[in-house]
Amino acid sequence: MVSVELGFTLGYILVCLCFVAPPSEFRAAGITVQNILAGWLGSEDLHFIHYHVKRTAATALIHAALPLGYYAGLSIISPQLQLWDFSIAPKPAVVYFAVFSAIFCGVVVMNYIWSRKGWEGHPIAKRLKSLGGNSWRATASAINVEFRRVDKFSSGIGGTRLYITDSWILKTGPYNVDIAHQANVHLRVVKTEDHVISHETGTSVQYLRIAVEQLSAGGKTFTIRLNSTEYGDLKNKLSAPIHAARDVVIRQSLSDMFLEAFREQVSQNPHYSLPEDAPPAEPCIGCMQTQSNVKLVKHCEDGDEGECVQCYCRPMWCLECMGKWFSSRQDQAHPERWLAGKSPCPTCRAKFCMLDVCFIA
């Protein structure tokens, strides 16, 4: 039979591991430092830097207290051990308590030093100072303003989160936050990890390890881990290019693969010539960045045969937006049928297929 002490020890270790590196079940239940101290930490969206300054300090303090929690719990579960009477308690237990008490006291002193003068000594504040500017608070304010915008890129794997704003690359971990200015970094894909089955999705997945090398003197190099399906969105948000070695093969997302096939098919379709009196092409109403360059013209069947019908809308969409619209109207559970599928025109709802999408000559 398993002893009470052994059962408590194994259970406490399991709970501590889940608390230090919380699985999705713990995060959903709110058993994390962020949720437990939400009232004191404040809002991450409004005050990103100050939120993580306090969060990293609190995380270090709480995690340092966990071994002492085990000692206190064991003294309650097994009072016969007399753990609080150090003269007769087992020597290994006394050594254990002394070591982890010293570690906890050290973390308390460290947090006190960090918090003096408005967290002036915190590693995050020191890192912001190294990035230049009049003060670390001014840099923190600039980051906070950009973080509040809704167009930032965000991704998360395990206990880390990655955020890309217009000017900054931010990676948060349990005890630290890595910060880099986009204009002052060199990015390169250093490794890919292919997994047959992901524990989160149950399907195959590829992760990329991207090194962020800061070009300024004393800048810290750090690595971000990213799902390859998010690689395209990451590149769109970055102002600096991402370099990859020739032996690194990055798998495209399903939508990227479809857009590539969609683009190849449309390039083979007949081109459409605008009438002489037609107004010039306007920006795509989907993205408002690219000139509208495709027109829907029925080519798949003769006359009135088939499901597709003639669309009489003027060119208003670019190829990328039309391809994304087409894929969004397909059965998401059966991507193998997308190429043969049909979609309503985003403007007039006339049904069309890929053979009816024509580049403007």
Report the percent of the chain where pLDDT is more than 70. Answer: 95
What is residue 88's DSSP assignment?
T
Digit-coded pLDDT (tens) for 123-167: 999 999 888 766 899 999 999 999 999 989 999 866 789 999 999
Q: What is the pLDDT along the chain (361 residues), one digit of tens a residue?
A: 358 889 999 999 999 999 898 888 888 888 888 899 999 999 999 999 999 999 999 999 999 999 999 999 999 999 998 999 999 999 999 999 999 999 999 999 999 999 998 899 999 999 998 887 668 999 999 999 999 999 899 998 667 899 999 999 999 999 999 999 999 999 999 888 887 766 555 567 888 999 999 887 767 899 999 888 888 889 889 988 898 877 777 776 778 788 888 999 999 999 998 888 888 888 999 888 889 999 999 988 765 677 889 899 999 999 999 999 999 999 888 888 888 899 999 999 999 999 999 999 8
Digit-coded pLDDT (tens) for 29-56: 888 888 999 999 999 999 999 999 999 9
> CA–CA distance from 225 to each of 67, 158, 164, 170, 284 (Å)?
30, 10, 13, 13, 34
Q: Is the Cβ–Cβ distance between 5 and 78 less than 8 Å?
A: yes
Against a cut of 0.95, is the pTM above it? Answer: no
DSSP notation for 79-146: GGG-TT-TTTS-HHHHHHHHHHHHHHHHHHHHHHHHHHHHHTTSHHHHHHHHT-SS-HHHHHHHHHHH
